Chain A
Amino acid sequence: MTAFLIELVVYSALVVGYFFAVLHFLADWLSNLEKTHIHIYAIVAIGLIIGQAIVLEMLTTGLMRLLQGGRSE
């Protein structure tokens, strides 16, 4: 439970950083792409959500392993 709560705090901090760093820069580009090349936008949208899913899954799994490893040592 403690490991999970620590994971949640670290994860939240990373996600807040992600909102301001990545999404802020992506917003205008995606908005323009949606207006000018809708088919490319559709493909990019699916790629982005799957890419984010894989990265976040790796991140949460890695964090959990790190915390569990640190606790057992």
Chain B
Amino acid sequence: MIAMMFPISHAEISPIYLTVVGFLIGILGGFFGVGGSFIAGPALRAVGLHWNFAVGTDLAHIVGKSVVAAKRHRALGNVDLRLGLIMAIGTIAGAEIGAQFIQHLKKAGNVDYVVSMVSIVIYFGISIFMLLEGLATLRSKRGRKEGSKNKKKDDSAFKGISNGVQKIKIWPMISLPVSGVKSISVWIILFVALIGGFFSGFLGGGAGYIRMPSMVYILGIPTHLAVGTDLFEIIISASYGTFTHAIKGNVDILIALVMHTGAAIGAQIGAIMTQYFAGPKIRLAFVPLPLIGAAIVIYTLVTGQKL
């Protein structure tokens, strides 16, 4: 493959490789509302890009991909702007706390081990929970009926949790008519976003694998809306992340631009694909993604090598 010289990171990488990686991650992002950093990071490392550039450049590429996917989701009526803007505030704050936590662990000298163990537990936990919930919902009579009638009308076996959360009255309360939520406390939305942001800063990437399920199970947002809104929110939080990484010299924007040419078309395909799947099926299809992340972390931990 023809290699191209990228003068900012001094890396020599095939633009075709970058475009194909971007395309595949774009499909995942458009369909699940995730950044795909657990694949993009190792994919960039695999061609010799230093880890700091892999993280920063991936964030820049996530911004571009999320613009395309969120625009497509908005056209499909899958973006709740009010929810997305509130969540962006919590995510940015959480990402800063997560990054500070990493700095403390760095000083303590056990950052790699702690982050690896936490990520394995989180990734496995999300996968098992979503697998059990998705299967339980599909098995229920109601889930099957709604799945066949209206793809966007969502149901969850854990609906009781979100109903309970929406009943907590802590001022200020707001309504989210686009998401079908009559009343919810702003603090609860901010808290959920803060947790997602914390893991974004702590484990890297956009942490969509935590935020998307949290929006569905805790806030009670329909899956299609959670995917589209998460992508919109990622534009803001990943732009912030890109800026902070860029001023530290961790972003090779040329690599991100090349990756994004593939991601732009992949994200559109992923977003369109959501129309053909009911919420519980999207959640079930999501299950292997955190497991891929866990497998990469376990490989790194066992072999001592970064993919």
B60 touches A52 (CB 8 A): no
- Select which of B64, B65, B242, B264 is within 8 A of A60 by beta carbon: B264
Give the contacts of B208-262 with A (CB-CB under 8 A). Answer: 235, 239, 242-243, 246-247, 249, 251, 253-254, 256-258, 260-261
Tell me, yes or no, whether B49 is within 8 Å of chain A by CB. no
B268 touches A60 (CB 8 A): yes
Residues of A within 8 A of B61 (CB): 49
What is the 8 Å Cβ interface bit string for chain B, positions 259-277, against chain A (1 contact, 0 not)? 0110011001000000000
What is the 8 Å Cβ interface bit string for chain B, positions 1-26, against chain A (1 contact, 0 not)? 00010111000000100010000000
Give the contacts of A26-43 with B (CB-CB under 8 A). Answer: 26-28, 30-31, 34, 38-39, 41-43
- 13 A-B pairs within 8 Å (CB atoms) are namely A8-B265, A19-B15, A27-B7, A30-B253, A31-B7, A39-B247, A45-B60, A45-B253, A48-B257, A49-B257, A50-B67, A52-B257, A57-B68
Docked Cα-Cα span, A44 to B246, in Å, equals: 10
B67 touches A54 (CB 8 A): yes
Q: In the assembled complex, how far is the CB of residue B68 from the closest CB belonging to chain A, in whole angstroms? A: 5
Docked Cα-Cα span, A44 to B247, in Å, equals: 11
Q: Which residues of B are interface residues toward A (Cβ below 8 A)?
A: 4, 6-8, 15, 19, 60-61, 63-65, 67-68, 71-72, 235, 239, 242-243, 246-247, 249, 251, 253-254, 256-258, 260-261, 264-265, 268
What is the 8 Å Cβ interface bit string for chain A, positions 57-69, against chain B (1 contact, 0 not)? 1001100000000
B243 touches A42 (CB 8 A): yes
Docked Cα-Cα span, A19 to B19, in Å, equals: 11
What is the count of residue pairs linking A and B with beta-carbon distances less than 8 angstroms?
96
- Select which of A8, A41, A53 is within 8 A of B64 by beta carbon: A53
Residues of B within 8 A of A43 (CB): 243
Docked Cα-Cα span, A63 to B253, in Å, equals: 26
Docked Cα-Cα span, A23 to B260, in Å, equals: 13
Known: A45-B60, A45-B246, A46-B60. A53 touches B65 (CB 8 A): yes
Residues of A within 8 A of B268 (CB): 57, 60-61
B260 touches A53 (CB 8 A): yes
Residues of B within 8 A of A27 (CB): 6-7, 254
Q: In the assembled complex, how far is the CB of residue B108 from the closest CB belonging to chain A, in whole angstroms? A: 29
Tell me, yes or no, whether A56 is within 8 Å of chain B by CB. yes
Residues of B within 8 A of A54 (CB): 67, 71
Chain B interface, >50% SS class: helix
- Select which of B68, B239, B243, B251 is within 8 A of A56 by beta carbon: B68
Docked Cα-Cα span, A30 to B68, in Å, equals: 24
Q: In the assembled complex, how far is the CB of residue A49 from the closest CB belonging to chain B, in whole angstroms? A: 4
Docked Cα-Cα span, A67 to B244, in Å, equals: 41
Q: In the assembled complex, how far is the CB of residue A30 from the closest CB belonging to chain B, in whole angstroms? A: 6
Q: In the assembled complex, how far is the CB of residue B141 from the closest CB belonging to chain A, in whole angstroms? A: 35
Residues of B within 8 A of A19 (CB): 4, 15, 258, 261
A46 touches B72 (CB 8 A): no
Residues of B within 8 A of A6 (CB): none
B60 touches A60 (CB 8 A): no
A28 touches B243 (CB 8 A): no
